[in-house]
Amino acid sequence: VYREPAEATAEMIGTMRSSVNDVTAWIERHVRRLDSERVPLADVAGRIAAAPIVAVVRVPSADRAAVDGVALRADETIGASGYNPLELRLVRHGAPPTRRSAVIIAAGETLPAGTDAVAALDQVQIGFDGRCEIAEPVGAGNLVERAGTHVEAGASLVGSGQRLDAYAIGALAASGVDVLRVIRRPRVGLVLTGRSLAERGQTPAPGSVYDADGALLEALIARDGGQADPPRRTAGDRAALAAALVDDGADIVLVVGGTGPGADDASAATLASVGELAIHGVAVRQCETAGVGIVPPATPVFLLPGAPAACLWAYELFAGAAVRRAGGSPIELPFRTRRMALDRKLASAIGMVDICPVVCRAEGRIEPIAPFAEAGLAAALHADGIVIVPEGSEGYARDSEVLVYLLKG
């Protein structure tokens, strides 16, 4: 079909690109942290705590041995040495305290009445005659877990918004927590439009491609704590798209493809007709036709270009920021950053944000690799990190220190 340049779209995209900050500000206005749900402790790994969790009981509830060893009275060990070892009689746990006695005790057992310290197994010679010898003084409280030392009643265990890892789960279990409130996982609707897709397992005809966006987005959404609905594939025309945008209860909707200026690129116009198109066209070279808007009742919609690398960056910068924010995570890119020096010049055309893949070389140094525009999604696969060059910059000279978002590990 002959492509009539769509007047409104050309104008909008050609002259009114929004900055990343504009889109981020829109997301902060229109995407709220979701409500919470009660989830059993066994299922909270990776979830985000919805409220601070405070200990209701102290851990341990009584003084107890921190390690296997013998419980004894510290003051009796004063003066003990290799030349003058102290001999103690082993008595059973619960026997009335007597002078010069000790009790073999397992880690976690409550300290016997009358004892105030534990000597570890390597501090003591246990004989086979009901006695043991200790060759150094033991301080009061040595290897004793005092009641409440681990956790005092009322102490904060987990902060609101904290991601629950194995260590937090262990500490919560130790405090008797078995159910807790976590932020609901954002349900993300995926609408894949247009583009002739090759069947998997068959060589794609020229001009058709395998769908990468569905699998890519499902994995990205899961990484960011969301739950992708099964992708719905629709023809890219307005009627099909409008039908797909009718409220189905998703917290966020992503429309992939049909964002460009062509006559059959219907995503932006359809969003404008069934809801509100807030932004279309962003000043990011990798995904300049991305957009955002709202469909009733008040569901944020993200328009992502269909080319996989463009789809990736429109997700990472915009849709993903919304998923992360709705799910209670920081809105920022979920990568750690590091300042590193460029082994080669990094060139970038002025006027748009440019996302440049790099690989790590010698310690602390990076080198640009073939950009997304050339290498597509493979650049993301091969890159160790990315450098984000701002709109007003032409790039960086060799040896410049730049901020690198590390994609791996």
Q: Which of residues 8-47 bind a second copy (CB under 8 A)?
A: 10, 13-14, 17, 41-42, 45
| Residues numbered 300-339 forming contacts with a second copy, rule: CB under 8 A | 305-308, 310, 312, 336
Give DSSP secondary structure letters for 154-187. T-EEE-TT-B--HHHHHHHHHTT--EEEEEPPPE
Name the 3-class secondary structure at 214.
helix
Least separation, in Å, of the C-beta of 257 and a second copy?
Answer: 9
Q: Which token pair is 404?
A: 């690198």
Number of residues interacting with a second copy: please give it, by CB under 8 A. Answer: 113
151 to 170: interface string for a second copy, x by CB under 8 A? x-----xx------xxxxxx
Which stretches within 228-306 are classed as H helix? 238-244, 267-274
Least separation, in Å, of the C-beta of 318 and a second copy?
Answer: 16
Identify which of residues 210 and 237 has a Cβ nearer to a second copy in the complex. Answer: 210
Residues 6+ apart with CB under 8 A from 383: 357, 358, 359, 369, 407
Identify which of residues 168 and 294 has a Cβ nearer to a second copy in the complex. Answer: 168
Identify which of residues 2 and 83 has a Cβ nearer to a second copy in the complex. Answer: 2
- Which one, of 225, 228, 191, lies nearest residue 211 by Cα? 191
- Which one, of 276, 342, 351, 355, lies nearest residue 314 by Cα? 355
Identify which of residues 30 and 58 has a Cβ nearer to a second copy in the complex. Answer: 58
Least separation, in Å, of the C-beta of 29 and a second copy?
Answer: 27
Which stretches within 160-261 are classed as H helix? 166-174, 213-223, 238-244
| Residues numbered 95-154 forming contacts with a second copy, rule: CB under 8 A | 103-104, 106-110, 120-122, 125-128, 143, 145-146, 149-151
Identify which of residues 30 and 368 has a Cβ nearer to a second copy in the complex. Answer: 368
| Residues numbered 211-240 forming contacts with a second copy, rule: CB under 8 A | 211-216, 218-220, 222-223
Least separation, in Å, of the C-beta of 203 and a second copy?
Answer: 5
Residues 6+ apart with CB under 8 A from 58: 147, 148, 150, 151, 152, 153
Identify which of residues 54 and 210 has a Cβ nearer to a second copy in the complex. Answer: 210
The radius of gyration of the chain's CA atoms, rounded to the nearest angstrom, is 31
Q: Binding residue for a second copy (CB under 8 A) from 24, 175, 270, 329?
A: 175
Least separation, in Å, of the C-beta of 397 and a second copy?
Answer: 22
| Residues numbered 363-382 forming contacts with a second copy, rule: CB under 8 A | 370, 373-378, 380-381
Are the CB atoms for 242 and 270 separated by under 8 Å? yes
Spatial distance between the Cα atoms of 373 and 254, rounded to a whole number of angstroms = 22
Cα separations (Å) of 256 from 30, 164, 259?
Answer: 20, 32, 8
Q: Binding residue for a second copy (CB under 8 A) from 135, 210, 331, 341?
A: 210
Identify which of residues 108 and 296 has a Cβ nearer to a second copy in the complex. Answer: 108
Identify which of residues 30 and 213 has a Cβ nearer to a second copy in the complex. Answer: 213
Is residue 345 part of the contact set for a second copy (CB under 8 A)?
no
Is residue 260 part of the contact set for a second copy (CB under 8 A)?
yes
Residue appearing with tokens 């300049």? 288
Least separation, in Å, of the C-beta of 359 and a second copy?
Answer: 14
Strand partners, 193: 234
Stretch that binds a second copy, among 23-31, 56-64, 359-367, 397-405 (CB under 8 A): 56-64
Is residue 244 part of the contact set for a second copy (CB under 8 A)?
no
Identify which of residues 208 and 273 has a Cβ nearer to a second copy in the complex. Answer: 208
Q: Binding residue for a second copy (CB under 8 A) from 82, 96, 207, 249?
A: 207
Give the HSE-up count for residue 29: Cα atoms under 13 Å, Cβ half-sphere.
10
Spatial distance between the Cα atoms of 81 and 380, rounded to a whole number of angstroms = 64
Least separation, in Å, of the C-beta of 251 and a second copy?
Answer: 19
Identify which of residues 140 and 219 has a Cβ nearer to a second copy in the complex. Answer: 219
Q: Where are the beta strands (DSSP E) in 281-335?
A: 291-295, 299-304
Are the CB atoms for 341 and 400 separated by under 8 Å? yes
Stretch that binds a second copy, among 267-275, 281-289, 294-302, 321-329 (CB under 8 A): 281-289
| Residues numbered 58-97 forming contacts with a second copy, rule: CB under 8 A | 59-62, 64, 66-68, 90-93
Residues 6+ apart with CB under 8 A from 200: 210
Element holding 256 (H helix, E strand): strand 252-256
Least separation, in Å, of the C-beta of 298 and a second copy?
Answer: 28
